[in-house]
């Protein structure tokens, strides 16, 4: 144990941090990277975040860090001209002693240090409309800060990320190899995907036709990547910038809503009970649009409903494909059918979104109307 701590201290010491390291402990609920909180003494920064990047997911971590740097430099600049008295913070990259954005040890592990956002906390679920509005505000602010940063300034670090037709191709390939063992649940999934095949390219088609422009996106705007002020409860930062890359902001909008408006969560076993909570969606969109109204186009509003429906469907499709191939991508499974149940949760959510198409579209319309 103490050897691990010594190692971590040695790693943290590679970075340009002031003062003495008092403590290093595992931190947060992330499930991609290994995250540690470093506590410092005699330093203006009381804490810094030390992370080992998951290189099974990110094959070019140096490009990830380059993206993060381009973003933080740009957003920090924009924030200086901001005419808002609200607290908003952008995590910054702490360089190594020799001015690099990361440190690679002898075993090839890839480490970085990031400034810690003090007096803030993250949550795994959204329980009320106030927090929902703040989560939407956070995503809107994030998009707003980069709305004038050309997407080509950032590298694509995950090829095919959120390109739903590609996930459908992978599904077809998996199905061709699968022994087709049958169960009512498997049949439900097969049927569910079959009846929606022709619609899965809805966002990609809009991208190709130019109806939706290529922009920068966060890529993982789940609620636990938003930090809320511990005293006021208001959103103060969006963190976890690894998947920041060119894409559609609709991937973010859809992913934020599908993950936030399901109070039973992605991991529930009671998939039949899952529903999309439209009241929460209304608050999220209200917060989002309050910050995004200056760059959203008519077409952007038109595709919001599809983006929510598609991102829920896409995740279900990915879970189901992974179940068919034996849990390769979502490899952290607790039981054999885990990814099947995860797929059922997302498909149930998709269905609930579909049955509420009218109220969801009415919410978007009313919010847009309210701006006039």
Q: Can you tell me which of 9, 27, 213, 278 binds ligand ADP, judged by CB under 6 A?
A: 27
Q: Say how far apart CA 77 and CA 208 lie, in whole Å.
A: 32
Q: Say how far apart CA 243 and CA 44 lie, in whole Å.
A: 29
Q: Say how far apart CA 362 and CA 369 lie, in whole Å.
A: 10
Question: Which residues in this chain contact Mg ion in the complex, by CB under 5 A?
Answer: 30, 32, 225, 240, 242
Shortest distance (Å) from residue 260 CB to ligand ADP: 15
Of the pair 225, 356, the CB lying nearest Mg ion is at: 225
Of the pair 146, 360, the CB lying nearest ligand ADP is at: 146
Residue 76 in tokens: 């920090």
Shortest distance (Å) from residue 87 CB to Mg ion: 21
Selection from ligand ADP, Mg ion, none that 369 binds (CB < 5 to 8 A by kind) is none
Selection from Mg ion, ligand ADP, none that 53 binds (CB < 5 to 8 A by kind) is none
**Longest alpha-carbon distance in the chain:** 63
Q: Can you tell me which of 9, 28, 201, 333 binds ligand ADP, judged by CB under 6 A?
A: 28
Each residue 39-68 as x (binds ligand ADP by CB under 6 A) or -, in order, gives: ----------x-------------------
Of the pair 220, 314, the CB lying nearest ligand ADP is at: 220
Shortest distance (Å) from residue 242 CB to Mg ion: 5
The reply to whether 151 sits near ligand ADP by the rule CB under 6 A is: no
Size of the site for ligand ADP (CB under 6 A): 20
Selection from Mg ion, ligand ADP, none that 116 binds (CB < 5 to 8 A by kind) is ligand ADP
Each residue 129-148 as x (binds ligand ADP by CB under 6 A) or -, in order, gives: --------------------
Q: Directed axis angle between helix 304-325 and helix 249-260, to 10°?
A: 70
The reply to whether 330 sits near ligand ADP by the rule CB under 6 A is: no
Residue at shortest CB range from Mg ion: 240
Q: Can you tell me which of 40, 90, 239, 244 binds ligand ADP, judged by CB under 6 A?
A: 239
| 3-state SS track over the chain | CHHHHHHHHHHHCCECCCCEEEEEEECCCCCCCEEEEEEEECCCCCEEEEEECCCCCCCCHHHHHHHHHHHHHHHHHHHHCCCCCCCCCCCCEECECCCCCCEECCCCCEEEEEECCCCEECCCCCCCHHHHHHHHHHHHHHHHHHCCCCHHHCCCCCCCCCCHHHHHHHHHHHHHHCCCCCCHHHHHHHHHHHCCHHHCCHHHHHHHHCCCCCEEECCCCCHHHEEEECCCCCEEEECCCCCCEEECHHHHHHHHHHHHCCCCCCCCCCHHHCCCCHHHHHHHHHHHHHHHCCCCCHHHHHCHHHHHHHHHHHHHHHHHHHHHHCCCCCCCCCCCCHHHHHHHHHHHHHHHHHHCHHHHHHHHHHHHHCCC
Radius of gyration of the chain (CA): 21
Q: Say how far apart CA 31 and CA 131 lie, in whole Å.
A: 22
Residue at shortest CB range from ligand ADP: 30
Of the pair 72, 225, the CB lying nearest Mg ion is at: 225
Of the pair 144, 237, the CB lying nearest ligand ADP is at: 237
- Residues between 98 and 117 with contacts to ligand ADP, criterion CB under 6 A: 114, 116-117
Shortest distance (Å) from residue 175 CB to Mg ion: 29
Of the pair 242, 252, the CB lying nearest ligand ADP is at: 242
The reply to whether 157 sits near ligand ADP by the rule CB under 6 A is: no
Q: Can you tell me which of 14, 141, 170, 224 binds ligand ADP, judged by CB under 6 A?
A: 224
Shortest distance (Å) from residue 285 CB to ligand ADP: 23
The reply to whether 122 sits near ligand ADP by the rule CB under 6 A is: yes
Of the pair 117, 343, the CB lying nearest ligand ADP is at: 117
Residue 134 in tokens: 């703040």
Give the binding site for ligand ADP (CB under 6 A): 27-33, 35, 49, 91, 114, 116-117, 122, 224-225, 227, 239-240, 242
């Amino acid at each position: 144990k103490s050897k691990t701590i010594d190692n971590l201290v040695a790693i943290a010491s590679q970075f340009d941090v002031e003062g003495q390291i008092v403590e290093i402990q595992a931190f947060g609920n992330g499930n991609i990277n290994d995250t540690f909180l470093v506590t410092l003494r005699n330093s203006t920064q009381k804490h810094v975040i030390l992370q080992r990047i998951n290189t099974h997911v990110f094959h070019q971590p140096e490009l990830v860090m380059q993206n993060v740097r381009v973003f933080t430099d740009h957003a920090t600049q924009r924030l200086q001209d901001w005419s808002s008295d609200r607290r908003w913070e952008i995590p910054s990259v702490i360089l190594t002693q020799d001015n690099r954005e990361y440190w690679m040890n002898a075993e090839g592990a890839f480490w970085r240090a990031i400034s810690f956002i003090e007096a803030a906390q993250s949550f795994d679920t959204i329980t009320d409309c106030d927090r929902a509005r703040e989560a939407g505000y956070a995503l809107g602010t994030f998009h707003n800060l980069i709305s004038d940063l050309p997407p080509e300034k950032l590298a694509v670090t995950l090829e095919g990320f959120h390109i739903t037709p590609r996930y459908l191709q992978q599904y077809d390939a998996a199905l061709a190899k699968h022994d087709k063992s049958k169960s009512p649940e498997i049949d439900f999934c097969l049927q569910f995907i079959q009846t929606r095949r022709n619609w899965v390219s809805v966002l990609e088609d809009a991208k190709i036709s130019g109806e939706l422009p290529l922009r920068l996106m966060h890529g993982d705007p789940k609620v636990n990547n938003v930090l809320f002020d511990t005293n006021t409860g208001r959103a103060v930062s969006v963190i976890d910038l690894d998947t920041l890359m060119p894409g559609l902001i609709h991937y973010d909008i859809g992913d934020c809503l599908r993950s936030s408006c399901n109070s039973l969560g992605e991991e529930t076993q009671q998939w039949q009970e899952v529903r999309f909570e439209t009241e929460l969606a209304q608050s999220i969109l209200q917060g989002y649009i309050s910050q995004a109204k200056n760059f959203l186009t008519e077409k952007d509003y038109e595709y919001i409903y599809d983006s929510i429906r598609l991102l829920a469907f896409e995740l279900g499709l990915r879970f189901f494909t992974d179940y068919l191939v034996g849990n390769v991508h979502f490899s952290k499974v607790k039981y054999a059918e885990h990814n099947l149940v995860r797929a059922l949760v997302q498909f149930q959510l998709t269905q609930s979104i579909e049955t509420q198409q009218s109220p969801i579209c009415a919410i978007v319309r009313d919010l847009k109307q309210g701006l006039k």
